[in-house]
Amino acid sequence: MADRTHAGGERTHRGIAVSGGVAHARILTIGQARRHVDPTPVPAEQVEAELARLNTALVDTRRDITAVKEQVAAAMGANEAGLFEAHLLVIEDSTLLDEVARKIRSEHLAADAAFHVVSEKYVAALEAIDDAYLRERAADLRDVAGRVIDHLQGIGEPRDLRRLSEPCIVVAHDLAPSTTATLDREHVLGFATESGGRTSHTAIMARKLGIPAVVGLGPLLGEVRDGEYALLDGHGGGLTVNPTDQTLFEYGQLKQRRAQFEEKLSLLREQPAVTLDGHHVTLAANIDAPEDMPAVQASGAQGVGLFRTEFLFLNRRDTPGEEEQYLAYKAVAERLGPGATAVLRTLDLGGDKLPGDLARTGEPNPFLGWRAIRISLGHPTGFRQQLRAILRASAHGRVRLLYPMVSCIEELRAANAHLAACREELRAEGIAFDESMPVGTMIEIPAAAVIADMLAREVDFFSIGTNDLTGYSLAVDRMNDRVAPLYQPTHPGVLRLIRMTVEAGRKLGKPTGVCGEMAGEPALVPLLVGLGVEELSATPALVPQVKFLLRRLKLPEARKLAEFALQCDSAAEIHAQSSALARQIAPALFGGG
C-alpha cells in the first residue's frame, strides 16, 4: 500500500486516510522492538517458581485489563468497554493457560518464553485464516500476551500511552483497542499504522476520538525512528518523515485553512440541509451506540439515519435482552431534536460482524451466507425481543424500523409478521408504542433493487446500503485489496439500481435514503441528490461537509449530472463529473477556494 517519495531527507509513506486532520510531531513507535524472550531452559528446581510467576502475572494482567475496561466505560460508554471482555476471556482461556503451564513443566521454559511460544502459535493459526473477525481475535490475543509478558519481564506498561510527556505521532503495526481507547489525548496528536482499513478498530476509534489517522501504510516500523519529526495528513492519507521547511510551510497553511474552514462549518449546525434553490434533503447521522448521540447533535444532523444495533451485541459474552435493548433504543429516541427521527436497523450480524456467543459457522462465503435478516428470522425469539424493544422505544421519540439485507418479498413478509405479532402482544400487555411507526427495508442486494416496486407495497421507506449494494452488484469483496480498484460506487450498474429504487418508491410515495459511505462523500453527493435520493445519512464527523455542499448545490445541475451518469458507460468518468461539480460549487471542501 505504501508508495514512497523522496525530497532531500523527506520521505512520504502513503496509506488510507481514515480520520481527518493534520499533525506535526515526533514519532513514537509502538511494538518496534519485539520483546526478547530467552528460550534457554531454566534449572529444574526453578520450574515451580516460574509457574508461580506466571500466576502473579496473570493476576496483574487481569487487574490491568479490568482497570482499562472501567476507564473506557467511564470515558466512552459500555459498548466500547465491552471489547475488553474479549481480552479477559483470553486471559481466562484454560486451553491456552494449560498449554503454557505444560511447556514450563515439560520443557523447563521460563514463564515469559512459554507464554510467548504458545500465544504466538495461536496468533499464527488465527492469522492464517482469511477472515477479518479471526484476525481481530489474533490482535486481541497478541495484545493480552504482550501485557502478560511485560509483567513477567518487569517491564510494566511500555506501551502505555495514557501518560506522555510530549506530543507525538504514534506509529505501530496496528494499535490494540486497549491502547487507542485510553491514550493520552493531549499528547497523542495522531496515529499511523502499517495495517488496517476503514473498518479496522484503529480507524473506528480514531474517528470517534477525533484524532487524525492513516492506516494501511505497509512496512513502516523498520523505516522510521523514535524522535524523528513527521507530518501526518489524515485527509490525504500520508505520513511525511523529516518534512522539509517547504512541506511544513505548505501543511501549516493547509492546517490553518482547515481550522478556519472547520469553524465555518460549525456555523452551519443550526442551518437546514437545503439546496440553493430550496430543495430539502434530510441529512442524518449513522451511529453504533446511544453514546454517539452527542456527536450527532454537535454535527447538526437531523436525527439518526442508521443505528447499527448489532454493535450492542459485539465484543461481549452475553446477549442483550429486550430490556437492555429497550433502554438503549429509548436513550436514542429521547435525544432526538424536534422533528427528527431515528432509524433503528434490526441486527445485521454475520459477514465480518459476529458476536462471541454465536458459534462460528465456518462458512466459505460469510457475506453470502448466514447474515442479517436471515439470522433474525432463524432466531425468532431473539428477533421478537428486538422488535418489542424497538416498538417500546417508539413511545419515547420518532422511531423508524429498518430491516437489513432483505433479498425477497418472503423475508419482508416474514419479518413483518413477527412485527405484527409483537404489536399484538404489546397491545394485550397494555404497553405503549407508536402504532404508526414507519417500517422500511434496506436495499443492498441487487435483486431487491430490481423488485423495489414490489417491496415498496409492503414498506414505508427504503434505505440504500451502497456499501453492500456496490459489493454485491460488482461481485467485489470490499475487504480484498486485490480487487479494490473494481469497487466503484459510481459504476453505471450501481447507479441504475439506485435510480430504480428511487423511482419504485416514488410511484407509491415511499421515500428513499442512502446510509452507506457514499452518502458521506461530498464528491458523490450531487449524484445522489440528482438521482432523487431524499435522505443522506453519514458518520457524524462528515455531516457538516455534506451540509456545506448541499447548501451550494442547485437541483437542476444535480439532475443534469444524474442524467449524464445514467447514460455514461464509465464509472471513472461519472466519478470525475460528480467531483468536478462538487469542487466547482464547494472548492473549500477540497482544500481550494
Any idea which residues carry the catalytic annotation? 201, 515
Out of 444, 460, 521, 534, the only residue in the binding site for ligand PEP (CB under 6 A) is: 444
DSSP-derived pairing of the beta strands 10-14 and 4-7: antiparallel
Task: Select 91 or 536, whichever has its Cβ closest to Mg ion.
Answer: 536
Burial of 8 (0-12, 13-18, 19+ CB in 10 A): exposed
∠ Cα 185 187 190 (to 5°): 75
Q: Provide, rounded to whole angstroms, the least separation between the CB of residue 267 and ligand PEP.
A: 29
Please, which residue, 214 or 494, has the CB nearer to ligand PEP? 494
Name the minimum Å distance from CB 495 to ligand PEP: 15
Q: Using an 8 Å Cβ cutoff, are 487 and 481 in contact?
A: no
Q: Cα-flanking dihedrals φ and ψ of residue 564, to 5°? A: -60, -45
CA 366/CA 373 separation, integer angstroms: 14
Q: How far is the CB of 348 from ligand PEP (least distance, A)?
A: 5
Measure the N-to-C terminal CA separation of the chain; round to a whole number of Å: 31
Nearer to ligand PEP, 79 or 466 (CB): 466
Chain positions 87 to 146 lying near ligand PEP, rule: CB under 6 A, are none
Q: Which residues of 81-106 are buried (b: 16+ CB within 10 A; e: fewer)?
A: bbbbebbbebbeeeebbebbbebbee
Nearer Cβ to ligand PEP (466/577): 466
Burial (Cβ within 10 Å: 0-12, 13-18, ≥19) of residue 298: middle
Least CB distance to ligand PEP at residue 465 (A): 3
What 3-state class would DSSP assign to 23? Answer: strand
With CB under 5 to 8 Å by kind, the binding choice for 308 among ligand PEP, Mg ion, none is ligand PEP
Let me know the angle formed at the C-alpha of 542 by 547 and 479, rounded to the nearest 5 degrees.
135
The least distance separating ligand PEP from the CB of residue 310, rounded to whole angstroms, comes to 8
Residue 400 binds: one of Mg ion, ligand PEP, none (C-beta under 5 to 8 A by kind): none
Applying CB under 5 A, which residues contact Mg ion?
Answer: 444, 465, 468
The C-alpha cell of 113 is what?
Answer: 518464553
Distance CA 243, CA 231 (A): 7
Nearer to Mg ion, 31 or 350 (CB): 350
Q: Are 88 and 67 contacting, i.e. CB atoms less than 8 angstroms apart?
A: no
Cα gap 400→302, rounded to integer Å: 14
Nearest to 551 by CA among 136, 272, 358, 294: 272
Say whether residue 197 binds ligand PEP (CB under 6 A). no
In terms of CB distance, is 223 or 352 closer to Mg ion?
Answer: 352
Query: How many angstroms from the chain centroid is the CA of residue 77?
Result: 16
The string of DSSP codes covering 176-213 is -HHHHHH--TTTEEEEEESS--TTSHHHHHHHHHT--E
| Choice from 140, 348, 534, 535 touching ligand PEP (CB under 6 A) | 348
Question: CB of residue 443 vs Mg ion: minimum separation in angstroms?
Answer: 10
Rounded to the nearest angstrom, the gap between the alpha carbon of residue 288 and the centroid of all alpha carbons in its chain is 9
* Minimum gap (Å) between residue 351 Cβ and ligand PEP: 7
Rounded CA-CA distance 558/553 in Å is: 7
Contacts to ligand PEP from residues 497-516, by CB under 6 A: 515-516
466 binds, among ligand PEP, Mg ion, none (CB under 5 to 8 A by kind): ligand PEP
Q: Which is nearer to ligand PEP, 286 or 578 (CB)?
A: 286
154: CB partners within 8 A, 6+ apart: none
Residue with cell 511460544: 117
Closer residue to Mg ion (CB): 241 or 533: 533
Among positions 450-479, residues that touch ligand PEP (CB under 6 A) are 465-468
Return the one option of Mg ion, ligand PEP, none that residue 515 interacts with (CB less than 5 to 8 A, by type).
Answer: ligand PEP
- Closer residue to ligand PEP (CB): 24 or 308: 308
CB of 167 to ligand PEP, least distance (A): 34
Site size toward ligand PEP (CB under 6 A) is: 10
Query: What CA dihedral angle connects 444, 448, 452 and 457, to 10 degrees?
Result: -110
Q: Which is nearer to ligand PEP, 37 or 445 (CB)?
A: 445
CB of 372 to ligand PEP, least distance (A): 8
For residues 287-326, which are near ligand PEP according to CB under 6 A?
Answer: 306, 308
Rounded to whole angstroms, the Cα distance separating 188 from 168 reads 5
> Whole-number minimum distance, CB 299 to Mg ion, in Å?
22
> Any contact of residue 394 with ligand PEP (CB under 6 A)?
no
- Answer positive or negative: Cα dihedral of 327, 459, 508, 442: positive
| CB of 324 closer than 8 Å to CB of 387 | no
Residue 440 interacts with ligand PEP (CB under 6 A): yes or no:
no
Separation of alpha carbons 331 and 543, rounded Å: 21
Pick from 299, 333, 205, 343: which is nearest to 540 by CA? 299
Which residues contribute to the site for ligand PEP (CB under 6 A)? Answer: 306, 308, 348, 444, 465-468, 515-516
